[in-house]
Amino acid sequence: LFAGTADFVSAAPSLGSLPPMRGVEIAFAGRSNVGKSSLVNALTGRNTLARTSHTPGRTQQLNFFDINGRFTLVDMPGYGFAAVEKAKVAAWTELIHAYLRGRANLARVYMLIDGRHGLKTIDTDVLDGLDKAAVSYQIVLTKGDELKKSEVSARIRGVEAALARRPAAYPEVLLTSSRDARGIAELRASIARLVAE
């Protein structure tokens, strides 16, 4: 599914500028700096497809990528980044929520959570919104290379336990790293199953 071309389609700074819906769409959402854009690059094997940065707030629009003509991958701006103007944060938050609630061809949201920190209140607020809107989501823990071996299973189990009563949550939690590629094959397989449905 990923062996082929991955092309930037467009960037949408607002709901009014979303590209037309075409086939299955999946989105990467999560806090600023959690590693969304890096994961887009790791999945596609294209290091510079999505722009990444050490400083949070790098991705400021919804970025749409066509993967092999088979589905669309959406790299979202991060939420929860306080160091930019309040008005900007409010505008992003509104865009993120409106997109997540209202996109009919959005098959699943991959909710990226920093593996070192687990779920924060700001994440569970977004999950509440997805559950309410019945938008299916799966948790992907990022930066797995930063976790000690001994911490991994407890972190995964802790997040899985927190999902147990969430109606729109896919029960399996994946641990990934864009640095050492762990979990990337599993994430590709998860996406491939969705696209094949």
The amino acid occupying position 47 is N
3-state SS string for 160-173? HHHHCCCCCECCCC
Cα separation, 195 vs 197, in Å, equals: 6
Candidates 56-64, 151-159, 162-170, 186-194; binding stretch for ligand GTP (CB under 6 A) = 56-64
Where in 82-141 is the site for ligand GTP (CB under 6 A)?
none
Q: Smallest gap, in angstroms, from Cβ of residue 78 to ligand GTP?
A: 2
CB of 18 to ligand GTP, least distance (A): 18
Which of 44, 59, 138, 178 lies at the binding interface for Mg ion (CB under 5 A)?
A: 59
Q: Which CB sits closer to ligand GTP, 2 or 81? A: 81
Rounded to the nearest 10 degrees, the angle between the axes of helix 86-102 and helix 121-133 is: 30
Which of 15, 21, 9, 25 has the alpha carbon at shortest distance from 109?
Answer: 25
How many residues does the structure list for the chain?
197
Instruction: Find the shortest distance in angstroms from Cβ 123 to ligand GTP.
Output: 13
Binding site for ligand GTP (CB under 6 A): 30, 32-38, 52-54, 56-59, 77-78, 142-143, 145-146, 177-179
